[in-house]
Structure 1
Amino acid sequence: MKSLIITTFLAVLLHLPLAGQSLTPDQLQADFSRFRTALNEVHPEMYRYTPKPVFDSLFEATAARLNRSMSQHEFYVMMTPLLVALRDGHIKWIVSGRDEHYPFFTDKLFPLKLYFLGEKAWMMDNYSTSPVPIGAEIKAINGKPMHQIIQTLLPMMTFADGNGIGGKLEDLNHYFSGYYATFIDAPTAFDVVCQVGSETKTITVSPVTDQTIKAYVEAHKPTPQKPFRLTFMDTQTAVMTIERFMGNKKEQDYKQFLHDSFQEIKAKNVQHLVLDLRDNEGGEESWGILLYSYLARQPFRYYDHISVHQKKKYSFPAWTSKLYRMLKGLAVKKHGNAYALAWHKGLRNTKPKPEAYQGKLYVLLNGTSFSVTTELAARIHADKRAVFIGQESGGGYRVNSSGIFTITQLPNSKIDLGIGMFGFNMANVAEHADRGIIPDYLVEPTADDMLNHRDRIMEYTLKLIQSQKTALTKGE
């Protein structure tokens, strides 16, 4: 996720939630109008994945349903499919003053931590206590089969660009309890059908609170490591891990890390470099560009253009960057029938660094590889610079809509809508118009891998490298 504004988002426009208050049809229509106007005036490429006629039909159908009084929760759920239709994983839809993952229910939450793969789920741990066995496949919850639960939730989830679902499944791994409560039910008990081996049984478990879940997450955080790491596996193989493309002055200096690392890689004559970008949600665009300057074999242009919907002032109350408002008269120029940023480092040709790595490159991705991370991966992939291993990225291959955000609060429901203003269109890409980066070798961790802390993707990569070394030694 882009660092600019994300850290500020939850702090602005806080109001008490209105979950128990009924909103009149007039109030709902007013909020709907603000919602639609904001998307139309701010989103840089609203119709990239869903054509305008389809979107207009969705808007009209939704407006027709706002003909009765309803709660904030009902309105939130009814509007969510319109956001999903954007296929924009950066869009923000947050009840003011509430945790975005638990917007309406802070209790009556599902008490088991699950792992999702395809249309199945497995029990990884308890948030409190329950007799459901660790490792059991969860077949159904309160009479609803797991595949139906997943099919119900995925169309209500926004964390994905285009038509990929990898990011959504990763989101379920972390926040299933919140999604289930918001979009399915928040009952006083859960009847869980689970299977271990050939045995299937139903176990009733009690719900937990969001504080219990957060306490579990805090207690099970991995041992802190430096966010940028270089590890040598042998004399010819190195692994570079980049956890995020942002930091602070108290942490490692990213630029210095890259400079020192690639100097060392060159000095040691490394022939195989693994770039681990799994679970990296992104950050600063310039950090991705800088890293690629250490990997590129020839001068490159990172972005083709950076789209902006309009240059004029918005017709509705909103918050956005003061600096952008001051500079957009100079920075935003006409681009075809729309507008684009005229200034950005990624729009220029960039030369590789003198110490740029020239050997074989392997890039590891998963569904949480997003935003700036996917931009970098797209540039590497389009230039045929690396072999990709793991799972499809959560971010889109061709474009990433983010950057500076515009935030407006719907006046009656008090829900904050945050919209990324820039469409970062990658240069010279020709594949997967509606998907993320699809690996050359699809490797998906199993439930057993997760339980036993086995890194199947890294193991596969190192075996692939070893096989290539062996083939080279034999002269194959």
Structure 2
Amino acid sequence: MKTPFLTICFSMLLCLSLRGQTLTPEQLQADFTRFRTALNEAHPEMYRYTPKPTFDSLFAATSAELNRPMTQHEFYITMLPLLVALRDGHIKWIVSGRDEHYPFFTDKLFPLKLYFQGEKVWVVGNYGNASVPNGAELTSINGQRTLMIVQKLLSNMTFADGNRVGGKYEDLNQFFSGYYATHFGGPDAFTVTYRTGSDEKTATLSPVDEKTIKAYAETHKPAGQKPFRITFLENGGSSPQTAVVTIERFYTNKGEQDYSAFLKEAFGQIKQWQIKNVVLDLRNNEGGEESYGVQLYAYLAAKPFRYYDHISVRQKQKFSFPVWTSKLYLKMRWLVVKKRGDGYVFTHQRGLKTVKPERDAFHGNLYVLVNGNSFSVTTEFAARTHADNRATFIGQETGGGYGLNSSGIFAITQLPNSKIDLGIGMFGFHMANLPNDLKPGQGIVPDHLVAPTVEDVLTGHDRAMAYTRSLIQGQKAALTKSE
């Protein structure tokens, strides 16, 4: 028990010492070379959104900047344009031993919880003892307009596939204090201007620490809710006609609900009650196990389907750099990775085969709720459902890309001098039977765009769910009238 603890302590001390010292140009170039090599050998589709000539120019420009001593923090920031150019929301860039959202500051953090909507920034919570009221519009921080701050942060954030920004806004809603500190520093105090009504006021706020922010987040989580839930809504008749199925994530932790058992029981009940409408809530579901999405769609598909067209990988040879990844995959890749055209594909996945609907599959009206945090496996499921015209979508555009994403098994390497971990999803999941009119880099755009207002956030009003219920009631009324 002592060895892991001592290892963790040593790692943390090493990170602290790195933040206080500079790295030589030779050390920076060595890390840069490892970074570029890892991307070239592991990323399945590095040039999916940014052409190779553009990327080569970015590499050259970044290398030229590494001609002077830099701190770990400066190197971290200097490399970000390369990561952003991938437009791969799964890419990981994490200072070893630190929370990815608080890589350099654990104190002197911004003390207000904010909500971002378009060009507006609203106060919706308070981590400390600040005097700014909830519902106020924040207009500046330490003399900088919030609009300019947000634009800078968005341009340096990686949580998005393709051209998506919804996931970035959702990340700001949760982790603005960490992003602000990384890019603007941690001051001893924050002077803010804000509006309430027509009045603009100024306040000076004391900073808070990471522990306080995380404690606030924990206390504001719904208590006792299971990650997979089904609720039946009364419609004024003798039996319910609508079921709400909530899937918070596509994975399970040890000792939790069994996902397969939940689906079997839930859709068995839906069939038994002869439910006509199912609302599938996938908001804030950032993904998980690919097979979970395939399994869920088998309970909703109208006919046999192929989920993936193919799953691309960069290569099947041994990596030339030190890497942490699945030992089983390294042993089995000679069997499960095959040559295809100019590249390679991974062949061992249920979604590559034709899948038959489950016996209790639901064939009624399906409504799917998504938002910017609907990502990865969730976006894959939404893409299959949307491409098959199987559901009505309500909410906000997904954070993940419609056509494909890079995830699956990760290759992780630690840059030798800066001690920053680079994590690369090695599989490119290409969805099958896509629409012909997709725009490059788009997500799943809902049929009905419904975004929460600041009043919704403050009062807990679920605008998208209320809108969906009104759709269902409207369709029911139209059917009754026509009959």
| TM-score category (smaller protein) | over 0.9
**Partner amino acid for 1:248?**
N
**Partner amino acid for 1:406?**
A
Q: Which residue of 2 aligns with 1:7?
A: none
**Partner amino acid for 2:478?**
A
Residue of 400, 403, 409 corresponding to 1:404: 409
**Is 1:298–2:298 an aligned residue pair?**
no
Q: Which residue of 2 aligns with 1:163?
A: 163
Q: Which residue of 2 aligns with 1:422?
A: 427
1:11-44 Cα offsets, whole Å, 9 max, x none, are 8x94621111101111111100100110011000
Tell me how far apart the structure 2 counterparts of residues 443 and 375 of structure 1 sit (CA, whole Å).
Answer: 21
1:432 CA displacement? 3.5
CA shift in 2, pair 1:240/1:282, >3 Å = same
Task: Find the residue that maps to 1:85 and give its secondary structure.
Answer: helix
1:249 CA displacement? 4.4
Q: Which residue of 2 aligns with 1:19?
A: 19
Tell me how far apart the structure 2 counterparts of residues 250 and 171 of structure 1 sit (CA, whole Å).
Answer: 29
Q: Which residue of 2 aligns with 1:335?
A: 340
1:257 CA displacement? 1.2
Residue of 341, 347, 355 corresponding to 1:350: 355
**Partner amino acid for 2:281?**
D
Q: Which residue of 1 aligns with 2:463?
A: 456
Tell me how far apart the structure 2 counterparts of residues 344 and 252 of structure 1 sit (CA, whole Å).
Answer: 24
Tell me how far apart the structure 1 counterparts of residues 123 and 431 of structure 2 sit (CA, whole Å).
Answer: 39
Residue of 356, 361, 364 corresponding to 2:366: 361
**Partner amino acid for 1:416?**
D
Q: Which residue of 2 aligns with 1:43?
A: 43
**Partner amino acid for 1:403?**
G
Q: Which residue of 1 aligns with 2:3?
A: none
**Is 1:275–2:263 an aligned residue pair?**
no
Unaligned runs of 5+ in 2: 1-6, 235-239
Q: How does 1:253-264 map to 2 (within 5 A)?
A: 253-264=258-269
CA shift in 2, pair 1:14/1:402, >3 Å = farther
1:428-465 Cα offsets, whole Å, 9 max, x none, are 11324302111110000011100000000100000011
State percent identity of aligned pairs: 66
**Partner amino acid for 2:390?**
R
Superposed CA RMSD: 1.5
Tell me how far apart the structure 2 counterparts of residues 256 and 90 of structure 1 sit (CA, whole Å).
Answer: 29
Q: Which residue of 2 aligns with 1:435?
A: 442
Tell me how far apart the structure 2 counterparts of residues 324 and 318 of structure 1 sit (CA, whole Å).
Answer: 13
Kept in 2, the 8 Å contact 1:397–1:433? The answer is no
1:319-355 Cα offsets, whole Å, 9 max, x none, are 1111001000010001221101122111000011121
1:148-206 Cα offsets, whole Å, 9 max, x none, are 11100001111111111000000001100000000122211111110001111111111
Structure 1 residue runs of 4+, over 3 Å off? none
1:147 CA displacement? 1.1
Tell me how far apart the structure 2 counterparts of residues 239 and 125 of structure 1 sit (CA, whole Å).
Answer: 29
Q: Which residue of 1 aligns with 2:144?
A: 144
Range moving further from structure 2, 116-125 or 371-380:
116-125
**Partner amino acid for 2:301?**
A
Tell me how far apart the structure 1 counterparts of residues 397 and 443 of structure 2 sit (CA, whole Å).
Answer: 6
Tell me how far apart the structure 2 counterparts of residues 14 and 164 of structure 1 sit (CA, whole Å).
Answer: 35
Tell me how far apart the structure 1 counterparts of residues 171 and 203 of structure 2 sit (CA, whole Å).
Answer: 25
Q: How does 1:176-195 map to 2 (within 5 A)?
A: 176-195=176-195
**How many pairs were matched up?**
467
Tell me how far apart the structure 2 counterparts of residues 422 and 341 of structure 1 sit (CA, whole Å).
Answer: 8
Tell me how far apart the structure 1 counterparts of residues 19 and 256 of structure 2 sit (CA, whole Å).
Answer: 41
Q: Which residue of 2 aligns with 1:4?
A: none
Tell me how far apart the structure 1 counterparts of residues 365 and 161 of structure 2 sit (CA, whole Å).
Answer: 29
Tell me how far apart the structure 1 counterparts of residues 218 and 459 of structure 2 sit (CA, whole Å).
Answer: 20
1:114-138 Cα offsets, whole Å, 9 max, x none, are 0111121100111011111111000
TM-score by length of 1: 0.96
Q: Which residue of 2 aligns with 1:6?
A: none
Q: How does 1:301-340 map to 2 (within 5 A)?
A: 301-340=306-345
**Is 1:382–2:387 an aligned residue pair?**
yes
Task: Find the residue that maps to 2:105 and give its secondary structure.
Answer: coil
Residue of 458, 475, 481 corresponding to 1:474: 481
Q: Which residue of 1 aligns with 2:216?
A: 216
CA shift in 2, pair 1:423/1:14, >3 Å = farther
CA shift in 2, pair 1:422/1:392, >3 Å = same
**Partner amino acid for 2:26?**
D
1:329-384 Cα offsets, whole Å, 9 max, x none, are 01000122110112211100001112111101000001111111111000000101
**Partner amino acid for 2:19?**
A
Unaligned runs of 5+ in 1: 1-9
Tell me how far apart the structure 2 counterparts of residues 222 and 21 of structure 1 sit (CA, whole Å).
Answer: 42
**Partner amino acid for 1:121?**
V
Q: Which residue of 1 aligns with 2:4?
A: none
Q: Which residue of 1 aligns with 2:91?
A: 91
1:286-335 Cα offsets, whole Å, 9 max, x none, are 11101100100011000000000011111111111110010000100012
Tell me how far apart the structure 1 counterparts of residues 179 and 423 of structure 2 sit (CA, whole Å).
Answer: 19
Q: Which residue of 1 aligns with 2:231?
A: 231
1:41-95 Cα offsets, whole Å, 9 max, x none, are 1000111111111111111111011110110000000101111111111111011
Tell me how far apart the structure 2 counterparts of residues 426 and 103 of structure 1 sit (CA, whole Å).
Answer: 34
